[in-house]
Chain A
Amino acid sequence: EDQVTQSPEALRLQEGESSSLNCSYTVSGLRGLFWYRQDPGKGPEFLFTLYSAGEEKEKERLKATLTKKESFLHITAPKPEDSATYLCAVIEYSSASKIIFGSGTRLSIRP
């Protein structure tokens, strides 16, 4: 069964304390992996799409990487405004458009 597992479930960091979020996936053929940020009461906000192992993408303090079995979202010197739930999702070739989401990591950055 296709699965997306995110860890940790929750993470509390001090402002400026860098860390990484993990997303491991099990799909028959990965077409793409997405990272989203979601604030309370709002829809997910698109961050990155990764397509192949070895690919990396950066945006401000965030950097996403991809291997054949997992993806990492690295957060460098985070600020309180980076506090949110970060969601990982995959789409596989056979389903074409069905996205499978992980349960998310709740990130809290203390000033």
Chain B
Amino acid sequence: KAGVTQTPRYLIKTRGQQVTLSCSPISGHRSVSWYQQTPGQGLQFLFEYFSETQRNKGNFPGRFSGRQFSNSRSEMNVSTLELGDSALYLCASSPESDGYTFGSGTRLTVV
């Protein structure tokens, strides 16, 4: 079966711009989580959505937001980009909140 699909794979943005990343979960999975991975901080939890509702949120500023659609697809938005936002953004899906399957990620570079 198809895995977790993240688009785009690579993205280059300028400071101050905003960006939207997309995640299509495995069919039937209703939980979608987002993570930021950097060499210095490792994998850090951003937020999790379940049935279109944000169920949990990490310690990131309000510039980071997300949403989930009725078909479980999810988007993550970062406004007013900063150089420190450069990272690999990973999406993971799960049937409930266990056994998460990750996508290949979106590599965001802010210049």
Contacts and interface: CB of A to CB of B under 8 A. Distances in A.
Contact of B101 (A32, A41, A46, A91): A46
A95 B101 CA distance: 19
Nearest to B102: A43
A28 to B, nearest CB: 16
Contact of B50 (A87, A97, A99): A97
Contacts, number: 55
Interface stretch (B13-21, B68-76, B79-87, B92-100): B92-100
B105 A97 contact: no
Interface of B is mostly: strand
A87 B43 contact: yes
Interface residues of A, number: 23
Contact of A96 (B43, B44, B97): B97
A59 interface: no
Interface size class of B (residues with CB under 8 A): 20 to 34
Contacts of A34: 100
Interface in A63-111: 87, 89, 91, 95-104
A43 B98 contact: no
Contacts of B45: 98-101
14 contacts: A42-B104, A43-B4, A43-B92, A91-B98, A96-B56, A96-B97, A97-B55, A97-B56, A97-B97, A98-B56, A100-B45, A101-B35, A101-B44, A104-B42
Given A43-B102, A91-B97, 11 more contacts: A32-B98, A42-B104, A42-B105, A43-B105, A44-B43, A45-B102, A98-B45, A98-B48, A98-B56, A98-B58, A101-B35
